[in-house]
């Protein structure tokens, strides 16, 4: 199973929540994944994996890298557009 999305601990384990409901839990930070109400370990594991792929720190870093890169590009584009924009000309629509 994937390590804990918060603390990267890889000792995560299947844990019973109550009445046979299962979840995946982290022993270090006590983070836990979505609960399988049916007590299905596969479902609990799947929930954990989804959680991890959404939140694990290396994914977050990639997303942040992606967006900071994109923001830089956009800023450069805006700067370019400002430079290229023709100086404001009077609308020339004075009717008289």
Give the residues lining the site for Zn ion (CB under 5 A): 4, 6-7, 9, 26, 28-29, 31
Q: CB nearer to Zn ion: give 9 or 21.
A: 9
Both tokens of residue 47? 């929930």
Task: Name the minimum Å distance from CB 29 to Zn ion.
Answer: 3
> Do the beta carbons of residue 1 and residue 24 sit within 8 Å?
yes
Task: Name the minimum Å distance from CB 78 to Zn ion.
Answer: 40
Q: CB nearer to Zn ion: give 28 or 57.
A: 28
Rounded Cα distance between 6 and 46, Å, is 17
**Segments of the chain assigned E as strands:** 13-16, 22-25
> How many helices and strands (H and E) does the chain possess?
2, 2
Task: Name the minimum Å distance from CB 23 to Zn ion.
Answer: 13
Q: CB nearer to Zn ion: give 22 or 24.
A: 24
């Amino acid at each position: 199973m994937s390590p804990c999305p918060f603390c990267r601990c890889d000792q995560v384990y299947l844990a019973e929540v109550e009445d046979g409901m299962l979840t995946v839990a982290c022993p270090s930070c006590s983070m836990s994944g979505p609960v399988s109400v049916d007590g299905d370990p596969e479902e609990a594991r799947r929930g954990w994996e989804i959680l991890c792929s959404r939140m694990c720190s290396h994914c977050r870093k990639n997303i942040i890298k992606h967006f900071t890169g994109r923001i830089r590009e956009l800023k450069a584009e805006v700067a370019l557009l400002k430079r290229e924009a023709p100086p404001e000309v009077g609308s020339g629509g004075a009717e008289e």
